Amino acid sequence: MSHVTRMNDSMNNSTNDSCPTFDACHLCICDIIVTNALQASDSVALHHYTFPPKVVLLLGKEKEGIPQKLLHLVDTCIEIPQLGMIRSLNVHVSAACCIWQWTQQRLP
């Protein structure tokens, strides 16, 4: 069974207040960096962040954010610069911005 299948199975079998199981040791052994889009005191502006070769972009639910029990997995925080009084972006917009920047860094 593949990792994706196990992840999908755990997501489908979970209740609303639980999340899929992430193996932090596996992430470390495989040298995978976990990053998220979050305004924090140590966050890096998206346009200044260099995505590592292996990265997981961890995004939470709109309004609630990333579940507390997953925050310990986060290695870096990316902040998407915004103008005006915007507090946050929709999660799909944040994902699209991050994926676009990741793609830009890999284009010739």
pLDDT at 3: 39
User: Per the domain annotation, does 35 fall within a domain?
Assistant: yes
User: Per the domain annotation, does 94 fall within a domain?
Assistant: yes
User: Per the domain annotation, does 45 fall within a domain?
Assistant: yes
Alpha carbons within 13 angstroms on the beta-carbon side of residue 53 total 2
Can you give the residue range of the structural domain that contains 89? 22-104
User: Per the domain annotation, does 2 fall within a domain?
Assistant: no
pLDDT at 23: 64
User: Per the domain annotation, does 4 fall within a domain?
Assistant: no
**Residue 45, strand partner residues:** 79
pTM above 0.85, yes or no: no
Listed as ranges, residues in the chain with pLDDT below 70 are 1-26, 28-30
User: Per the domain annotation, does 77 fall within a domain?
Assistant: yes
How many structural domains comprise the chain?
1
